[in-house]
């Protein structure tokens, strides 16, 4: 029987996909089941599950001589004719179709009832494995699985079916015909399935292609490609160097900043006067005669200088002694500072984390970028954390937010969820968070994170944040003893404007979400997190998460291990991985940012200085202080993302990610994380760099990243450069079955640089999209019945005689040649590998039709 021949051929053509003894059933692209032994594959594609008219067989080799004829079931004949007429203009070579009764599969020598049944069958079932008897034409269905929890159908059930409108007896000949039809559909499906299978989305390959493309555009060219030597060699090197990873630091400390306990001495500072001579003398003797008073400083501090800069270790030793004095309230190093655009916030001198990498390898290069942007009030950044306390550094830019802690035992505000995300404190007493767990003072963690991100700069007080204009959306998810994943996920979804039961709609969805939190998860990203993060990404938001503070593989922590999250490790001021920071041998850390390393240096000044509250339990007064952690590193990245969005609110999340990723500066050459080490990417691509990121974002501004989606159910490729389209598809609003193919190309955003508008058309019949940069073709297709003009998709250059203008990238057009089955599809790609795959799968190559950036 012809169908069986087709089956054999198909198996030979695609041997790689055959599982001996157990084939794979792909039913409507979404249901995966094991097939009985001897059956490789079957795909039945109902166009819409709810109407008989839309029942549709997978196209391919259905026309097997006299065995059976397949008639399109879902056409209004008039529309079909006119559409074909139009199609033929586009595609002169078309297959002739048999005509049959509308709404029926015509099966020769089988009665109408059977034909009706065939239609019904295809309508009802989207999954039906059956065995093929290769010895005869009496192949028969032996098991039919009905979707939606309906009964399973066994061979005997085929003797009587119950289509709508009454029961129909099935004769043996009808049964044979139906089985043949199924088999034919199957063989057809094996062929038509090929393009989809060969183009199964591969996110990693897609990202690497995008990275290569950006490098080709001159972005991140100083970086090695994101493909390190091997995980094995990385592991060995990691083990071998574990103890020697941190060479002696050469950081020099200029002096110390000290606040004395006595109110009258702080008052002297406020009057710009020195502390009493006897205290200065005592400090100097502790410092071996090297310490001199320099000047008074804000907030009651006094600044001291060493005669010559000391190493961090020498300075640390002196600090330790000085801190023992009862007169001292606070003392820390004064690291060397820069003067590019130095904001007048008095605490800025402690913010090594924002400095140029020339001064501190671990700095994120802010002073220069503030000349370009200090942010925009249009940018909303969500801080998923312990809530927020009042602080003049960001109070005016706080959005209402929400408190998602559902358990009053941990919320510490006397109730469950509520509309007030203010942080009442998260102090605990001994054993409160578990046996043996000591109590702690309130952390004001969310306040510290918010300050790093968005404290007002150049306002003459306190510190400078990274983005001075962005609005902060406080989402409270962490209380006493941490937070539950369920609360965190609810908060995450709400932050970007998605629905959360019981919570009011979020009127100010965030474009950046900072998650300075994480939990141990030996299996990596959990299903719930993965799904939530996919939904969040579909809104176009960038998710920034801390890698974790466990000096461990980040793949074991969530959300750090989750795909698509910008996971941030921590470095110290020299740019070495912080002693506590998680790393990743499997590339789960995206980038590093300053988290400080108080643990290693033993001095507060090695930490990150930001906004805090002075209360040990409940909030008392706003203040400032040092913390260390990947929690502090993450908001540096979120802040840079916010600055970038201020420069270009239209940038896609993918490009935003890569702009930050490829703009990072390198770790010290002797660091295991360095781009010259075989363990490159252990700590991500580098230390984030605000200035370089902004330059990258500006360089990309004329362009649009065009993404491609493929629907496995209806085998339909769709390209768009609009974030709203992507969000619509990825949120499931365009139906099921859509996948990102990660096959990107660049277009122009407008008609500058000589780019021409690309017309987008939608053909309702074949459910297909068509694009053209050719103005004449655009006008012609506008006249075709059945094709709706959907506007200008993006701008591309036009090839002349198949040759693209200099500097532009050829975009190839392919056609699936399935017009006969009303399944016309075009695919556009710049990737010759994809071109080859599609041609191997039977698609027709149509040449270079437009030229991208």
| Binding site residues, Ca ion, CB under 5 A | 345, 403, 411, 413, 415, 418, 420, 456, 459, 461-462
- Between the alpha carbon of residue 213 and those of residues 225, 644, 705, the distances in Å are 11, 20, 11
Q: Which is nearer to Ca ion, 48 or 459 (CB)?
A: 459
Backbone angles phi and psi of 214, in degrees to 5: -65, -40
Q: Distance (Å, rounded) from C-alpha 62 to C-alpha 399?
A: 61
Least distance in Å: CB of 459 to Ca ion?
Answer: 5
In the complex, minimum distance from the CB of residue 628 to Ca ion, in angstroms, rounded to a whole number: 21
Distance of closest approach, residue 408 Cβ to Ca ion, in angstroms: 7
For residue 220, the minimal CB distance to Ca ion (Å) is 32
d(CA 472, CA 463): 17
Give the contacts of 790 (CB within 8 A, at least 6 positions apart): 760, 761, 762, 769
Contacts with 253 (C-beta within 8 Å, 6 or more apart), sequence order: 306, 309, 310, 311, 312, 314, 315, 333, 334, 335, 336, 605
Given 631, 664, 671, 726, the catalytic residue = 631
DSSP annotation of 522 reads: T
Residue (418 or 725) nearer to Ca ion, CB: 418
Task: Determine if residue 429 is left, alpha or beta; phi over 0 gives left, psi from -120 to 50 gives alpha, anything else beta.
Answer: beta
- Distance of closest approach, residue 194 Cβ to Ca ion, in angstroms: 55
- Most distant CA pair in the chain: distance in Å? 114
Among 818, 823, 812, CA closest to 846: 812
Which is nearer to Ca ion, 395 or 676 (by Cβ)?
395
The minimum distance between CB 451 and Ca ion, in angstroms, equals 9
Whose Cβ is closer to Ca ion: residue 231's or residue 419's?
Answer: 419
Q: Which is nearer to Ca ion, 403 or 713 (CB)?
A: 403
With b meaning 16 or more CB within 10 Å and e meaning fewer, what string describes 724-734? Answer: ebbbebbeeee
Stated as kind and residue range, the H or E segment containing 848 is strand 844-852
Q: How far is the CB of 485 from Ca ion (least distance, A)?
A: 18
Nearest residue to Ca ion, by Cβ distance, number only: 403
192 or 469: CB nearest Ca ion: 469
The 3-state secondary structure of 152-167, one letter per residue: EECHHHHHEECCCCCC
Active site residue 385: yes
From the CB of 426, what's the least distance to Ca ion, in Å? 12
- Give catalytic status of residue 445 as yes or no: yes
Distance in Å, CB of 638 to Ca ion, minimum: 18
Given 254, 345, 385, 713, which residue is catalytic?
Answer: 385
Report phi then psi at 291, rounded to 5: -110, 130
- Among 445, 665, 769, 812, the active-site one is 445
Nearer to Ca ion, 391 or 769 (CB): 391
Q: 160-165: long-range contacts at Cβ-Cβ below 8 A with a sequence spacing of 24 or more? A: 161/117, 161/120, 161/121, 163/116, 163/117, 163/119, 163/120, 164/52, 164/120
Which residue number, 51 or 415, has a Cβ lying nearer to Ca ion?
A: 415
Beta bridge mates, 738 = 711
> How far is 376 from 466, CA to CA, in rounded Å?
12
| The two three-digit tokens of residue 796, written as one number | 């591309």
Judged by beta carbon, residue 398 or residue 853, the one nearer Ca ion is: 398
Give me the torsion for CA of 388, 394, 400, 406, rounded to 10°.
-10
Question: CB of 466: closest distance to Ca ion in angstroms?
Answer: 12
Token couple for 280: 């200065």
- Asked if 823 is an active-site residue, the reply is no
Whichever of 285 and 377 has its CB closer to Ca ion, that residue is 377
H or E element, residue 513: strand 512-515
Q: How does DSSP assign 57-92, residue by residue? A: PPPSS---TTS-----SS--HHHHHHHHHHHHHH-S
Give the catalytic positions in this structure.
385, 445, 631
């Amino acid at each position: 029987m012809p169908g069986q021949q087709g089956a054999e051929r198909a198996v030979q053509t695609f041997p790689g996909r055959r599982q001996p003894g157990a084939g794979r059933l792909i039913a409507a692209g979404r249901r995966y089941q094991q097939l009985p032994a001897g059956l490789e594959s079957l795909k039945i594609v109902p166009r819409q599950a709810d109407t008989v008219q839309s029942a549709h067989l997978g196209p391919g080799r259905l026309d097997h001589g006299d065995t059976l004829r397949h008639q399109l079931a879902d056409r209004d004949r008039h529309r079909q004719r006119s559409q074909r007429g139009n199609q033929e203009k586009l595609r002169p070579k078309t297959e002739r179709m048999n005509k049959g009764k509308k709404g029926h599969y015509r099966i020769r020598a089988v009665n109408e009832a059977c034909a009706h049944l065939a239609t019904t069958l295809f309508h009802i079932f989207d999954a039906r494995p059956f065995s093929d008897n290769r010895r005869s034409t009496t192949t028969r269905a032996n098991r039919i699985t009905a979707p939606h929890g309906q009964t399973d159908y066994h061979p005997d059930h085929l003797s009587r079916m119950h289509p709508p409108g009454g029961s129909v007896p099935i004769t043996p000949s009808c049964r044979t015909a139906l089985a043949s039809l199924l088999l034919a559909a199957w063989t057809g499906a094996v062929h038509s399935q090929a393009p989809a299978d060969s183009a199964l989305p591969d996110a990693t390959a897609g990202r690497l292609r995008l990275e290569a493309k950006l490098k080709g555009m001159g972005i991140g060219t100083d970086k090695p490609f994101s493909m390190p030597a091997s995980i094995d060699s990385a592991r060995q090197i990691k083990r071998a160097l574990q103890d020697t990873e941190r060479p002696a630091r050469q950081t020099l400390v200029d002096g110390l900043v000290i606040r004395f306990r006595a109110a009258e001495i702080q008052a002297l500072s406020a009057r710009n006067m020195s502390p009493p001579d006897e205290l200065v003398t005592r400090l100097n003797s502790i410092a071996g005669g090297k310490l001199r008073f320099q000047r008074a400083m804000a907030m009651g501090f006094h600044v001291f200088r060493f005669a010559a800069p000391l190493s961090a270790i020498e300075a640390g030793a002196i600090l330790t002694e000085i801190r023992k004095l009862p007169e001292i309230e606070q003392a820390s190093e004064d690291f060397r500072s820069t003067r590019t655009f130095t904001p007048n916030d008095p605490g800025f001198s402690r913010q090594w984390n924002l400095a140029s990498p020339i001064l501190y390898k671990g700095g994120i290069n802010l002073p220069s970028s503030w000349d370009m942007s200090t942010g925009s009030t249009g940018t909303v950044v969500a801080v998923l954390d312990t809530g927020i306390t009042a602080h003049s550094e960001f109070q005016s830019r706080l959005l209402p937010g929400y408190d998602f802690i559902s358990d009053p035992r941990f919320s510490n505000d006397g109730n469950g969820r509520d509309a007030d995300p203010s942080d009442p404190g998260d102090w605990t007493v001994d054993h409160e968070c578990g046996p043996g767990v000591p109590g702690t003072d309130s952390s004001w963690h969310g306040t510290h994170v918010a300050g790093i991100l968005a404290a007002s700069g150049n306002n003459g007080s306190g510190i400078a944040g990274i983005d001075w204009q962005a609005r902060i959306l406080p989402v409270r998810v962490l209380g006493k003893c941490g937070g539950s994943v369920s609360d965190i996920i609810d908060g995450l979804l709400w932050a970007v404007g998605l629905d959360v039961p019981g919570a009011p709609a979020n009127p100010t969805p965030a474009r950046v979400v900072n998650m300075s939190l994480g939990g141990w998860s030996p299996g990596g990203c959990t299903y719930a997190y993965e799904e939530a993060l996919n939904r969040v990404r579909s809104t176009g938001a960038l998710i920034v998460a801390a890698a974790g503070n466990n000096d461990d593989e980040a793949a074991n922590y969530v959300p750090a291990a989750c795909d698509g999250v910008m996971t941030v490790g921590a470095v110290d001021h020299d740019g070495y991985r912080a002693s506590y920071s998680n790393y990743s041998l499997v590339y789960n850390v995206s980038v590093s940012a300053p988290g400080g390393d108080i643990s290693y240096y033993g001095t507060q000044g090695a930490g990150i200085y930001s906004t805090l509250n002075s209360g040990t339990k409940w909030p008392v007064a706003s203040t400032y202080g040092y913390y260390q952690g990947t929690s502090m590193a993450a908001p540096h990245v979120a802040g840079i993302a916010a600055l970038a969005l201020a420069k270009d609110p239209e940038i896609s999340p993918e490009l935003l990610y890569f702009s930050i990723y490829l703009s990072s500066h390198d770790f010290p050459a002797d660091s295991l994380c360095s781009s010259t080490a075989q363990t490159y990417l252990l700590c991500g691509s580098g230390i984030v760099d605000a200035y370089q990121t902004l330059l990258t974002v500006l360089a990309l501004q004329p362009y649009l990243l065009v993404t491609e989606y493929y629907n496995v159910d209806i085998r339909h490729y769709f390209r768009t450069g609009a974030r709203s389209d992507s969000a619509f598809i990825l949120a499931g609003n365009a139906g099921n079955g859509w996948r990102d193919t990660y096959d990107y190309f660049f277009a122009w955003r407008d008609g500058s640089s000589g780019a021409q508008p690309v017309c987008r058309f939608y053909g309702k019949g074949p459910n297909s999209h068509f694009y053209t940069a050719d103005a004449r073709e655009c006008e012609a297709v506008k006249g075709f019945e059945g094709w709706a003009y959907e506007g200008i998709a993006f701008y591309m250059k036009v090839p002349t005689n198949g040759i693209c203008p200099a500097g532009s990238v050829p975009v190839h057009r392919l056609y699936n040649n399935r017009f006969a089955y009303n399944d016309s599809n075009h695919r556009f790609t710049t990737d010759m590998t994809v071109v080859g795959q599609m041609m191997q799968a039977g698609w027709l190559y149509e040449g270079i039709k437009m030229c991208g950036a």
